[in-house]
Amino acid sequence: MLSDRARKIKPSPTLAIDSKAKAMKAAGEDVISFGVGEPDFDTPENIKEAAVKAMKDGFTKYTAVGGIDPLKDAIIDKLKADNGLSYKRDEIIASTGAKHSLYNVAQALYGPGDEVIIPAPYWVSYPDQVLLNDAVPVFVETFEADSFRVRAEALEERITAKTKALILNSPSNPTGMIYDRKTLQKIAELALKHNFYIVSDEIYEKLVYDGAEHISVASLGDEVKSKTLLINGLSKSHAMTGWRIGYTAGPAEIVKAMTNIQSQSTSNPTSITQKAAIEALRGPQDFVAAMRTEFDKRRRYLIEELNRIDGMSCLMPEGAFYAFPNTGKLYGKKAGERQIASSADLALYLLEEARVALVHGSAFGADNYIRLSYATSFEDIRRGVERIREAVGRLAA
Ligand code: PMP
Ligand code: GLU
């Protein structure tokens, strides 16, 4: 009955775990969730007010498919100010969340047999979006010893005549790592030499710590800019996950194709959200800094605590809001009759026995790890990590 396409993919594991944790909470269970990556902060008041004003002004109708010009201009000014990049309106398209932006890129670029290189660990939706477009995800492993940055040599080994694109995500979900200029330069050289696109997902740009610098690969030169689809959005930076707004900046021809695709699928992103997004981009930015300071405090605490748990070790993430501890040493251990053989076993054990929700590393293509989102209150982090310590302490060889 179902199409091959529908049968090839699985539901987003991060959203699935979030639903499960929310259902357990609704049933009265005391679950602490490190599951979904969603800021626990409320959307700032000035942004909400812009939306209310839009509604009251009757700005509630269809708009231009790729977003209204004032929104495109606000995005253009942001890309100039933050990333030193110059784009024109026909090189920008706003969509219903960055996930939708990525999907439009996939629809516009990938076709049967095309290969799309994805460094692992990767964000959960990248491979499935490639599969949804009959293309082939090609994984390239990265290592903790390299701070999970892809080695240029390893990347080059995966490039073939069919390579259409590479998906880069810096700061990274799930590892929290950031690409440095030198590595980006090597990647850019490879993209130009072998003529493939770089899909650069920069949604965590604003969440970088210890003075780290976010560099957009498109800013390394006009040539690489012409091969880059830059994806960003307001879900993470302005706590706007439910508003559904993201955008792409890239070559006009591709943006036009994405706009055609969007015109036949979802049409414009919500008119009200577009007005709110303009306020988010142009209004005061102190909210972003305050949120970052709070995440930073949680990051330090959580990573230190995870490293104190026997059998776990965790790199200090440089950005985003995830901890990605190595849990490989726990596999093979038992709690009574229950054997922990994988990240999925460990995540299920912690959910059932410690009432802590988190995501198994295999969802990100890295079974030796689990992911904890620290976009949750400090108090929950404190209690949650204690529960994990206690449950892990009960595991025996
Ligand atoms: N990219 C990454 C790496 C993400 O973690 C997310 C999280 N939702 C997205 C894209 C999509 O964000 P949204 O659709 O909410 O803009
Ligand atoms: N990106 C977030 C996460 O990784 C939200 C969930 C999703 O969009 O899949 O948890």
* Residues recorded for the chain: 397
Run of H or E including 45: helix 45-56
**Residue that has been written with the tokens 């930073």 in this structure:** 296
Q: State residue 9's pLDDT score.
A: 87
Q: State residue 10's pLDDT score.
A: 84
| Secondary structure class of 317 (helix, strand, coil) | coil
Q: How far apart are CA 16 and CA 36, in angstroms?
A: 9
Residue 363 beta carbon below 6 angstroms from any ligand 1 atom? no
**What is the 367 CA–ligand 1 centroid distance (Å)?**
21
Picking from 243, 323, 327, the residue whose alpha carbon sits closest to that of residue 277 is 243
Give the number of whichever ligand sits closest to the CA of residue 103.
Answer: 1
Domains of the chain, by residue range, sit at: 4-42+287-391, 48-282
Looking only at the bridges linking them, the beta strands covering 359-360 and 370-373 are antiparallel
Q: State residue 135's pLDDT score.
A: 97
Degrees to nearest 5, angle at CA 102 with 232 and 6: 150
Pick 48-282's CATH classification: 1.20.1260.10, 3.40.640.10, 3.30.565.10, 3.20.20.150. 3.40.640.10
Q: Is-cis flag, bond preceding 121, omega within 30?
A: yes
CB 198 within 8 A of CB 220: no
Picking from 99, 43, 92, the residue whose alpha carbon sits closest to that of residue 276 is 43
Which portions of the chain are predicted below pLDDT 70?
Answer: none
**Residue that has been written with the tokens 């049968």 in this structure:** 7
**What is the 302 CA–ligand 2 centroid distance (Å)?**
20
**Residue that has been written with the tokens 């970088």 in this structure:** 208
Residue 246 beta carbon below 6 angstroms from any ligand 1 atom? yes
Q: Report CA Rg, the chain.
A: 21
Q: For atom 3 of ligand 2, which residue has the closest CA?
A: 37
Residue type, 340: I
Q: State residue 15's pLDDT score.
A: 84
Residue 37 beta carbon below 6 angstroms from any ligand 1 atom? yes
Burial of 213 per CB tally in 10 Å (0-12, 13-18, 19+) = exposed
- Greatest CA span in the chain, whole angstroms? 65
Picking from 96, 357, 127, the residue whose alpha carbon sits closest to that of residue 248 is 96
Residue 64 neighbours by CB distance under 10 Å: 17
Residue 201 beta carbon below 6 angstroms from any ligand 1 atom? yes
Q: How far apart are CA 174 and CA 192, in angstroms?
A: 27
Q: How far apart are CA 61 and CA 53, in angstroms?
A: 14
C-alpha distance from residue 71 to each of 12, 269, 275 (Å): 29, 11, 7
CATH topology of domain 4-42+287-391: Aspartate Aminotransferase, domain 1 (3.90.1150)
Q: State residue 169's pLDDT score.
A: 98
